[in-house]
A and B are shown apart, each in its own frame.
Chain A
């Protein structure tokens, strides 16, 4: 009897430890399975997927040119510089994000600026907008009630961000979609955010993203952004995130 009790305690202990382990997501292992894991700290800036003037009239060519060739290019080269010769130079950006609190602040700021802008260009396209296809629409409905409810929650996150930052749509560790916002160049995969997830969609609300065209009218910029969304790309990223999380729906 005594022996049995001891044994069951040991079993309970191991079972408990095992459960704790699976409930805390292993983000390092998860992000390795994403195709963006190919982007490393030393990667070059990817070409813009369209011409500078392709997003007019919603985002003007001059804004795109400065945003891509100055702001984004500077974040990218500063990240490359911060990583050169360091132990993490061959690590993926996403893998670095997962433990960004262990890195110098230049890595958090420039690595974030490098990846966040890359994702932002990817999820836009000329003649975008409209509705997502069925799989993503269903997931949005499950999470927010309706597509319009999602749009207004995301727009609110973009408008309420005080100062510089981003609005995000991400997939949490259980496969659910959620909206969040981060200051400056922080990314939802970083451990410093309130709620972590794999970002699949984002909007830059630094003033540089809209000031030449909209000045203080951030609300107009946010409203026009919906005409530029590349929903196929967002859905592709949603499906990939579920696969990386090992979730089948």
Chain B
């Protein structure tokens, strides 16, 4: 099965001024595309040749896992973002965040700290555990919560390529802007 690069859910300049068109061009057009290409090359002649990305994330190791998970993670990341996103979640998700973290502000603070403090390359995630509880976790490199039986709800890419052209070493500024472009409707639907 040949994996394809899915289309972006918005125009390449739609997230400006927080994420520049140039960053999206490289991040989507080069990094994400390269993970797709690498994956398609690596799976030839392996038991993963016809596997879904989810299957690869659950079972593969090494290069196939890394590239497969990065394809999934980036598609998920694009779908977490949108121009002019709402500032807060609503409905059941809003209630669950309040129950778990005390308040939306407390959640934001905790998620931001996870994103800023992750050492090296990786992802910060809001996940739903099998028992229904929400949790914030960090994953290095291509790590994905599905592997641990957790359901991803929201993610922030903190590989340096996600923000270096726009913010250089100031990851905290990128994470602060992240909150201004969240597609809460999508996050609520996943919950």
A residues sitting closer than 8 Å to B (CB atoms) are 66, 70-71, 74, 105, 109, 162-165, 183-185, 206-208, 211-212, 215-216
Contacts and interface: CB of A to CB of B under 8 A. Distances in A.
Contacts of A216: 26, 30-31, 34, 161
Interface residues of B, number: 19
A211 to B, nearest CB: 4
B122 interface: yes
Contacts of B159: 163, 207
Contacts, number: 53
Interface of B: 26, 30-31, 34, 66, 119-122, 140-142, 159-161, 164-165, 168-169
24 contacts: A66-B168, A70-B168, A109-B119, A162-B66, A162-B141, A163-B121, A163-B140, A163-B141, A163-B142, A163-B159, A164-B120, A164-B121, A183-B120, A184-B120, A206-B160, A207-B121, A207-B159, A208-B160, A211-B165, A212-B164, A215-B26, A215-B165, A216-B30, A216-B34
Contact of B165 (A70, A185, A212): A212
B164 A163 contact: no
Given A207-B160, A211-B161, 12 more contacts: A66-B168, A71-B169, A162-B66, A164-B160, A207-B159, A207-B161, A207-B164, A208-B164, A211-B160, A212-B164, A215-B30, A215-B161
A137 to B, nearest CB: 34
